[in-house]
Structure 1
Amino acid sequence: MSELVAEIGDPGAPAPGSPTRARQVLRRLRSDRPAMAGVVVTTVLVLAAVFAPLLAALEGQDTTTFHTQLLDSARGGVPRGALGGVSADHWLGVEPTTGRDLFARALYGARISFTVAFGTLVVQLLLGVVIGLAAGFGGRLVDATLGRLIDLAISFPQLMFAIALLAIVPQSFPRPVLLMLVIGLFNWGGTARLTRGQVLSLKSRDYVAAARLSGAAPARIALREILPGALPQVLTYAAILLPANMVSEAGLSFLGVGVHPPTSSWGQMLSTATTWFRADPMYVLVPGLSLLTAVLAFTLFADGLRAALDPKASLRGGR
């Protein structure tokens, strides 16, 4: 996590929110082909998740209907036909043992994966930005106290405690909401550390000193003068966190403490597909490649956004 924070770089040029600055960032981003490819792919995937009911209806299938007639009972429930039962009625085939349509389940699985990733990001930004802003702008005692809290959050054995917490919460609690809270509460430290570093750098700027001399309240200075200057780097880091959140959700669902059937997510689908990778590779490839594509696309976009926001990116070669 700390390596990602260090990679983001300087706190940005003056007037980060100005139209000129915005145009420069947009121009650099447009000239970055991998980043734009990431934007296109993520847009397509997000739209597919949003319009999952329409796309599933276009195929003529849903996520819950069992098509047992398409399974070979003599082989333990493996789908009949090539590529896991791919046909005009089932575009990506069907699940072993149940016969549920894979295309529909992958679409609805994308909904869960994206919802949890974005919801977790909101929790991380709220906690990280507020605590980081308070640590960087507060006095020495406040900074020391919150700094130790941030260090504790970063060094905390997150996976172990997340699994334990998810396992003991009653099943009646909505699992996607629970995943957002658990992943977010255990992964806000990097955002807080980045925000604190940006605030410490920005609060010594001349325009902040001028705001103090004008008699502005500390809260106003923090929110109106310092926070806008820190936001570009925070948002860049948020773009890096999104694919990490998707992997966290998939990992927890894969371990059996995330969403449970009949609700589908890519991680949950991979969890049930591991015993079928020899008999029905499509059952593993559909959620696996979907997750890989989404994470790669978000990562390419995040890397391009970081380079576009860094005024020295073109001098480092490659962008």
Structure 2
Amino acid sequence: MSNPTPPVGPGLPETQTLIPDTTTAPGKEKESKQGKQGKPASLWTDAWYDLRRRPMFIISVIIILVLLVMSFWPSLFSSIDPYNARTCDLSTARQGPSPGHLFGRDNLGCDVYARTIYGARNSIVIGVFTTLVTTLIGGLLGIIAGFRGGMVDTISSRVTEIFFAIPSILGALLIAATFRGRYNSILLVIIALSVLGWPMVYRIMRAAVITAKNQDFVVAARALGAGAGRIMFRHLLPNSLAPVIVVATINLGTFIAAEAALSFLGVGVQSPDISWGLMIADARNRFLEAPLPLVFPAVFLSITVLAFIMMGDAVRDALDPKLR
């Protein structure tokens, strides 16, 4: 039996009988609150929401930001200009830490701290530009090969396999040694690493495009008369970019380490330019009697590479829903 509507008495205002019941269940209240906040609707916004809650990503970003500031404005961290020969004093060579010289002095009496700070610029510049070049070349060839297929895909894949058969460091060493002295040493290292660094990006982009080009949105774009260029760069590229960004982030740290290896072997960055690999090479012969000129640039190099790898792993986990 249903409850009758309560009568309207003379002492009860009529409007009170018309007030609706606004009470909701706790679950519905929470659901409506989430709806007002707005749940991330795209892969990128969802990934950013996930990244902000990852301590590994936050720590790596802070380290990278400090390194970038150090690269562009090294004078904020050191008042000594290591490019000025007058700041080096041969009589204080291999001297330990002292006031004004936190990391001591190297074999030529130069301040190790100042050289470490200024060395960040060349190491990071080489890593960033090499990553950009390899991503552009590999990404462009990968999206064309994956979309076109057929003979274009076959030829480009065979050429890529030839580059894959060459060890990266050995090939870069050969290129840098062959053209040493003909070009600026920093530019030569970027070219040497880029020539052999793009095939991995090519494979990642090609596989992503092959998977995406059979999706309904590409079929619909073709049915509406979209051209090949519009389909590739307006529809396929945004939906195939996530794995490429992950690989590029990790490759950046790898290229910084590769530059250090080339400089250590004597075919990378050359004096008077400064890089961490060159500092390690200069200090290796006197490591037992003066370890600090080698230890500090090696520590900075390791932290930088680790920061980029940590950020790449965090981005990969955020962009891949299966790993969350």
Is the TM-score greater than 0.5? yes
TM-score using structure 2 length = 0.84
The aligned residue for residue 74 of structure 1 is: none
The aligned residue for residue 21 of structure 1 is: 43
- Choose which of 106, 114, 138 in structure 2 pairs with 1:95: 106
> Is the 1:56–1:62 contact (alpha carbons within 8 Å) kept by the matching residues of 2?
no
Answering whether residue 82 of structure 2 is matched by residue 62 of structure 1, we say yes
Segments of 5+ residues of structure 1 without an aligned counterpart are 1-17, 72-77, 315-319
Q: Distance in 2 between matches of 1:203 and 1:91?
A: 57
Answering whether residue 242 of structure 2 is matched by residue 242 of structure 1, we say no
Segments of 5+ residues of structure 2 without an aligned counterpart are 1-39
- Choose which of 269, 278, 294 in structure 2 pairs with 1:268: 278
The 5-angstrom pairing of residues 21-170 of structure 1 reads 21-57=43-79, 60-63=80-83, 64=85, 65-71=87-93, 78-79=94-95, 84=96, 86-96=97-107, 98-170=108-180
Q: Distance in 2 between matches of 1:220 and 1:36?
A: 36
Cα pair distance change 1:214/1:48, threshold 3 Å: same
Amino acid in structure 2 at the alignment position of 1:309:
L
Secondary structure of the residue aligned to 2:321 is: coil
1:168 is displaced (CA, Å) by: 2.3
1:67 is displaced (CA, Å) by: 1.5
Amino acid in structure 2 at the alignment position of 1:201:
T
Identity %, equivalent residues: 31
> Is the 2:44–2:319 contact (alpha carbons within 8 Å) kept by the matching residues of 1?
no
**Which protein has greater RCO, CA pairs closer than 8 Å, 6+ apart?**
1
Q: Distance in 1 between matches of 2:320 and 2:167?
A: 32
Secondary structure of the residue aligned to 2:257 is: helix
Answering whether residue 196 of structure 2 is matched by residue 176 of structure 1, we say no
1:106 is displaced (CA, Å) by: 0.8
1:165 is displaced (CA, Å) by: 1.9
> Is the 2:124–2:256 contact (alpha carbons within 8 Å) kept by the matching residues of 1?
yes
Q: Which piece of structure 1 moves more, 168-177 or 178-187?
A: 168-177
The 5-angstrom pairing of residues 208-227 of structure 1 reads 208-227=218-237
Bigger Rg over Cα: 2
Amino acid in structure 2 at the alignment position of 1:219:
G
> Is the 1:61–1:101 contact (alpha carbons within 8 Å) kept by the matching residues of 2?
no
Q: In angstroms, what is the RMSD of aligned CA positions?
A: 1.5
Q: Distance in 2 between matches of 1:33 and 1:237?
A: 20
Secondary structure of the residue aligned to 2:77 is: helix
TM-score using structure 1 length = 0.85
